[in-house]
């Protein structure tokens, strides 16, 4: 199954990452906090890094308002599709090195580091295929399909429901903390 491929430029999508960078207290701490191997363990028991990934990255794919409206009252699988979750992982894989370069050089407009599966924004790279796939390479489309299968499989794993409930409770606690501060 192919994702309804979004055409998000590198610059635009970099701003989704800024909240995460702030939460990590700067770009220098991001590499240790954003471990792709840990993210690929998905909804395994006590995977705090994946919970952070959902909070900062999947929320950007779902839509910040939709995420805020549902994260305290619903399980993740009720408002974020398998496709949303797979696309968030794919976007991170595609842009990770580029975003790190943009953060380290303090340049939010461009990067000399190419994306993994797309030409990305204003880049003149030769990674992607025709406009038909909105700039995604065949390898990127295959990777999305692979991630879709992994997320789908992960969501029916024995630990998934407990992880989603724990994530919902964590969001609820964060929201309660914000209410008390006001």
- The DSSP string of 101-148 is HHHHTT-SS--SSPPSSB--TT---S-S--GGGTTB-HHHHHHHHHHH
The answer to which of 3-12, 30-39, 40-49, 140-149 has the lowest mean pLDDT is: 3-12
Q: Nearest 10 degrees: CA dihedral of 177, 179, 181, 182?
A: 170
In a domain, 1, yes or no: no
In a domain, 112, yes or no: yes
Beta bridge partners of 136: 118
Cα–Cα distance for residue pair 90/29, rounded to 1 Å: 22
pLDDT beyond 90 at 37: no
In a domain, 117, yes or no: yes
Most confident residue range from 39-43, 56-60, 84-88, 117-121: 84-88
- For residues 120 and 45, which has the higher predicted lDDT (pLDDT)? 45
Model confidence, pTM? 0.78
Instruction: Give first-to-last CA distance, the chain, whole Å.
Output: 45
Query: Tokens for 48?
Result: 């705090």
Burial bucket for residue 158 (CB in 10 Å: 0-12, 13-18, 19+): exposed
In a domain, 3, yes or no: no
Question: 116-149: b or e for each residue (b if 16 or more CB lie within 10 Å)?
Answer: bbbbbbebeeebbbeeebebbbeebbebbeebbe
Number of structural domains in the chain:
1
Among residues 81, 115, 154, which one has the least CA distance to residue 11?
115
Proportion of the chain above pLDDT 70, given as a percent: 70
Cα–Cα distance for residue pair 81/84, rounded to 1 Å: 5
Cα–Cα distance for residue pair 54/15, rounded to 1 Å: 16
In a domain, 6, yes or no: no
Helix axes 82-104, 10-23, angle to 10 degrees: 80
Write out the residue range of the structural domain in which residue 37 sits: 11-181
Model pLDDT for residues 106-136, shown as the tens digit of each residue = 887 788 888 889 876 544 455 544 455 457 8
Cα–Cα distance for residue pair 13/108, rounded to 1 Å: 10
pLDDT beyond 60 at 2: no
């Amino acid at each position: 199954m192919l994702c309804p491929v979004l055409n998000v430029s590198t610059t635009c999508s970099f701003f989704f990452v800024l909240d995460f960078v702030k939460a990590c207290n700067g770009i220098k701490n991001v590499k240790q906090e954003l471990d792709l191997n840990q993210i690929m363990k998905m909804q395994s028991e006590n995977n705090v890094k994946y919970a952070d990934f959902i909070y900062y990255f999947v929320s950007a794919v779902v839509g910040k308002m939709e995420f805020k409206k549902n994260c305290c009252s619903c399980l993740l699988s009720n408002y974020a599709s398998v496709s949303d979750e797979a696309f968030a992982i794919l976007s991170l894989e595609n842009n990770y090195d580029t975003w790190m370069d943009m953060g380290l050089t303090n340049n939010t407009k461009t990067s000399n580091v190419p994306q993994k599966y797309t030409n990305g924004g204003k880049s003149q790279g030769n990674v992607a295929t025709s406009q038909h796939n909105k700039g995604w390479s065949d390898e990127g489309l295959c990777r999305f399909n692979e991630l879709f299968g992994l997320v789908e499989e992960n969501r029916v794993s024995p630990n998934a429901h407990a992880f989603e409930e724990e994530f919902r409770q964590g969001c609820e606690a964060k929201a309660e903390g914000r209410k008390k501060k006001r």
